[in-house]
Protein backbone atom coordinates (compact mmCIF):
# COMPACT_ATOMS: atom_id res chain seq x y z
CA UNK A 1 0.00 0.00 0.00
CA UNK A 2 1.24 3.47 -0.94
CA UNK A 3 -0.24 6.39 1.01
CA UNK A 4 0.19 9.93 -0.29
CA UNK A 5 -0.40 13.08 1.77
CA UNK A 6 -1.10 16.15 -0.36
CA UNK A 7 -2.00 19.77 0.32
CA UNK A 8 -0.48 23.23 0.46
CA UNK A 9 2.39 24.16 2.77
CA UNK A 10 1.16 24.40 6.36
CA UNK A 11 -1.77 22.01 5.91
CA UNK A 12 -0.28 19.43 8.28
CA UNK A 13 1.00 16.80 5.84
CA UNK A 14 4.27 16.21 7.64
CA UNK A 15 2.61 15.98 11.05
CA UNK A 16 0.06 13.45 9.80
CA UNK A 17 2.62 11.36 7.92
CA UNK A 18 4.76 11.11 11.07
CA UNK A 19 1.78 10.28 13.28
CA UNK A 20 0.60 7.63 10.83
CA UNK A 21 4.04 6.02 10.63
CA UNK A 22 4.22 5.87 14.44
CA UNK A 23 0.78 4.24 14.73
CA UNK A 24 1.37 1.73 11.94
CA UNK A 25 4.71 0.66 13.44
CA UNK A 26 2.97 0.15 16.80
CA UNK A 27 0.47 -2.11 15.04
CA UNK A 28 3.30 -4.23 13.65
CA UNK A 29 3.35 -3.05 10.04
CA UNK A 30 6.56 -2.55 8.08
CA UNK A 31 6.67 1.11 7.10
CA UNK A 32 8.84 3.20 4.79
CA UNK A 33 8.41 6.95 4.46
CA UNK A 34 9.59 9.55 1.95
CA UNK A 35 9.31 13.33 2.02
CA UNK A 36 9.65 15.73 -0.90
CA UNK A 37 11.46 17.90 -1.71
CA UNK A 38 14.33 15.82 -0.34
CA UNK A 39 16.64 18.60 0.80
CA UNK A 40 19.49 16.15 1.40
CA UNK A 41 19.67 15.29 -2.30
CA UNK A 42 21.48 17.32 -4.95
CA UNK A 43 18.11 18.06 -6.56
CA UNK A 44 16.54 19.06 -3.26
CA UNK A 45 19.37 21.46 -2.53
CA UNK A 46 18.74 23.24 -5.82
CA UNK A 47 15.02 23.36 -5.04
CA UNK A 48 15.82 24.87 -1.63
CA UNK A 49 17.99 27.49 -3.30
CA UNK A 50 15.10 28.36 -5.61
CA UNK A 51 12.54 28.55 -2.78
CA UNK A 52 14.85 30.81 -0.78
CA UNK A 53 15.21 33.09 -3.84
CA UNK A 54 18.93 32.34 -4.13
CA UNK A 55 18.44 30.70 -7.52
CA UNK A 56 16.14 31.43 -10.44
CA UNK A 57 14.58 28.59 -12.44
CA UNK A 58 12.17 28.53 -15.37
CA UNK A 59 8.84 26.74 -14.93
CA UNK A 60 10.20 23.86 -17.05
CA UNK A 61 13.31 23.58 -14.89
CA UNK A 62 11.23 23.69 -11.71
CA UNK A 63 8.90 20.89 -12.81
CA UNK A 64 11.69 18.61 -14.00
CA UNK A 65 13.79 19.25 -10.89
CA UNK A 66 10.89 18.51 -8.53
CA UNK A 67 10.00 15.39 -10.51
CA UNK A 68 13.52 13.95 -10.77
CA UNK A 69 13.87 14.42 -7.00
CA UNK A 70 10.98 11.95 -6.70
CA UNK A 71 12.02 9.65 -9.56
CA UNK A 72 15.43 9.01 -7.96
CA UNK A 73 13.62 6.88 -5.33
CA UNK A 74 11.39 5.01 -7.82
CA UNK A 75 13.15 1.64 -7.62
CA UNK A 76 13.55 1.86 -3.83
CA UNK A 77 9.82 2.54 -3.44
CA UNK A 78 8.93 -0.38 -5.73
CA UNK A 79 11.22 -2.65 -3.74
CA UNK A 80 9.66 -1.59 -0.43
CA UNK A 81 6.18 -2.27 -1.81
CA UNK A 82 7.23 -5.71 -3.08
CA UNK A 83 8.57 -6.56 0.38
CA UNK A 84 5.24 -5.71 1.99
CA UNK A 85 6.01 -2.29 3.41
CA UNK A 86 3.36 0.38 3.72
CA UNK A 87 4.93 3.38 1.97
CA UNK A 88 4.01 6.86 3.21
CA UNK A 89 4.64 9.90 1.01
CA UNK A 90 4.79 13.43 2.41
CA UNK A 91 4.13 14.90 -1.05
CA UNK A 92 4.51 12.92 -4.26
CA UNK A 93 4.29 13.58 -7.99
CA UNK A 94 0.86 15.20 -7.56
CA UNK A 95 2.55 18.05 -5.71
CA UNK A 96 4.84 18.61 -8.69
CA UNK A 97 1.79 18.81 -10.94
CA UNK A 98 -0.15 21.12 -8.61
CA UNK A 99 2.64 23.53 -7.76
CA UNK A 100 4.32 23.75 -11.14
CA UNK A 101 1.07 23.95 -13.11
CA UNK A 102 0.14 26.86 -10.84
CA UNK A 103 3.49 28.36 -11.80
CA UNK A 104 2.85 28.30 -15.56
CA UNK A 105 3.96 24.76 -16.47
CA UNK A 106 1.46 23.14 -18.84
CA UNK A 107 -1.03 21.08 -16.80
CA UNK A 108 -1.71 18.41 -19.43
CA UNK A 109 2.01 18.01 -20.16
CA UNK A 110 2.69 17.60 -16.42
CA UNK A 111 0.12 14.80 -16.20
CA UNK A 112 1.42 13.13 -19.36
CA UNK A 113 5.04 13.17 -18.15
CA UNK A 114 4.16 11.65 -14.77
CA UNK A 115 2.18 8.90 -16.53
CA UNK A 116 5.08 8.23 -18.89
CA UNK A 117 7.55 7.81 -16.02
CA UNK A 118 5.29 5.14 -14.45
CA UNK A 119 5.90 5.89 -10.80
CA UNK A 120 4.09 3.56 -8.37
CA UNK A 121 0.55 4.92 -7.98
CA UNK A 122 -0.94 5.83 -4.59
CA UNK A 123 -3.43 3.39 -3.08
CA UNK A 124 -4.99 6.39 -1.34
CA UNK A 125 -4.39 10.14 -1.50
CA UNK A 126 -5.20 12.12 1.64
CA UNK A 127 -5.73 15.72 0.56
CA UNK A 128 -5.57 18.00 3.60
CA UNK A 129 -7.56 21.19 3.09
CA UNK A 130 -6.84 24.34 5.09
CA UNK A 131 -7.62 28.08 4.79
CA UNK A 132 -4.66 30.00 3.37
CA UNK A 133 -4.40 32.38 6.34
CA UNK A 134 -4.11 29.52 8.83
CA UNK A 135 -1.51 27.77 6.68
CA UNK A 136 0.50 31.00 6.49
CA UNK A 137 0.41 31.51 10.27
CA UNK A 138 1.57 27.94 10.84
CA UNK A 139 4.54 28.27 8.49
CA UNK A 140 5.47 31.69 9.88
CA UNK A 141 5.42 30.35 13.43
CA UNK A 142 7.36 27.25 12.43
CA UNK A 143 10.04 28.89 10.29
CA UNK A 144 9.97 32.61 11.04
CA UNK A 145 10.60 33.41 7.37
CA UNK A 146 8.38 31.88 4.67
CA UNK A 147 9.72 30.92 1.24
CA UNK A 148 8.66 32.35 -2.12
CA UNK A 149 5.71 29.93 -2.40
CA UNK A 150 4.50 29.81 1.23
CA UNK A 151 3.89 33.56 1.44
CA UNK A 152 2.24 34.00 -1.95
CA UNK A 153 -1.53 33.80 -1.40
CA UNK A 154 -2.37 34.36 -5.06
CA UNK A 155 -0.08 31.52 -6.09
CA UNK A 156 -1.37 29.14 -3.39
CA UNK A 157 -4.94 29.81 -4.53
CA UNK A 158 -3.89 28.57 -7.97
CA UNK A 159 -2.30 25.50 -6.37
CA UNK A 160 -5.56 24.69 -4.58
CA UNK A 161 -7.44 25.09 -7.86
CA UNK A 162 -5.12 22.59 -9.57
CA UNK A 163 -5.59 20.11 -6.73
CA UNK A 164 -9.37 20.47 -7.08
CA UNK A 165 -9.06 19.85 -10.80
CA UNK A 166 -7.01 16.70 -10.20
CA UNK A 167 -9.64 15.46 -7.75
CA UNK A 168 -12.49 16.24 -10.16
CA UNK A 169 -10.69 14.43 -12.99
CA UNK A 170 -9.85 11.54 -10.63
CA UNK A 171 -6.19 11.71 -11.61
CA UNK A 172 -4.40 9.37 -11.25
CA UNK A 173 -7.37 7.53 -9.69
CA UNK A 174 -10.55 8.10 -7.70
CA UNK A 175 -8.78 7.29 -4.42
CA UNK A 176 -8.74 10.88 -3.13
CA UNK A 177 -9.97 11.54 0.41
CA UNK A 178 -10.40 15.11 1.64
CA UNK A 179 -9.51 15.95 5.24
CA UNK A 180 -9.97 19.06 7.38
CA UNK A 181 -6.52 20.40 8.26
CA UNK A 182 -7.91 22.65 11.00
CA UNK A 183 -8.85 19.65 13.14
CA UNK A 184 -6.73 18.66 16.13
CA UNK A 185 -3.84 16.48 14.81
CA UNK A 186 -4.59 13.50 17.06
CA UNK A 187 -8.24 13.44 16.03
CA UNK A 188 -7.31 13.72 12.36
CA UNK A 189 -4.86 10.85 12.76
CA UNK A 190 -7.64 8.65 14.18
CA UNK A 191 -9.86 9.45 11.18
CA UNK A 192 -7.03 8.55 8.82
CA UNK A 193 -6.48 5.22 10.58
CA UNK A 194 -10.20 4.42 10.31
CA UNK A 195 -10.17 5.21 6.58
CA UNK A 196 -7.15 2.97 6.09
CA UNK A 197 -8.80 0.11 8.00
CA UNK A 198 -11.79 0.40 5.65
CA UNK A 199 -9.50 0.31 2.60
CA UNK A 200 -7.55 -2.69 3.89
CA UNK A 201 -10.79 -4.59 4.57
CA UNK A 202 -11.95 -3.83 1.02
CA UNK A 203 -8.59 -5.01 -0.30
CA UNK A 204 -7.58 -1.67 -1.82
pLDDT tens across 12-62, in order? 999 999 999 999 999 999 999 999 999 999 999 999 998 888 889 999 999
| Cβ atoms of 121 and 172 closer than 8 Å | yes
Q: Which domains does the chain have, with CATH numbers?
A: 2-36+75-203 (3.40.50.300)
Q: Which helix (H) or strand (E) holds 90?
A: strand 86-90
pLDDT tens across 73-122, in order? 999 999 999 999 999 999 999 999 999 999 999 999 999 999 999 999 99
* Closest of 199, 162, 186 to residue 6, by C-alpha: 162
37 prior amide bond cis, ω within 30? yes
Q: What is the pTM of this model?
A: 0.93
Amino acid sequence: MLIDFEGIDGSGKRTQSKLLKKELLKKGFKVADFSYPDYDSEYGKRIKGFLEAKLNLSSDEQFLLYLIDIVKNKEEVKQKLRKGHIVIMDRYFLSAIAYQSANNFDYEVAKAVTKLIQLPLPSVIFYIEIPLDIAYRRKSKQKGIVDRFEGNTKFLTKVVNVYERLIKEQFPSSNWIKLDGTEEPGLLNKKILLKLEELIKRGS
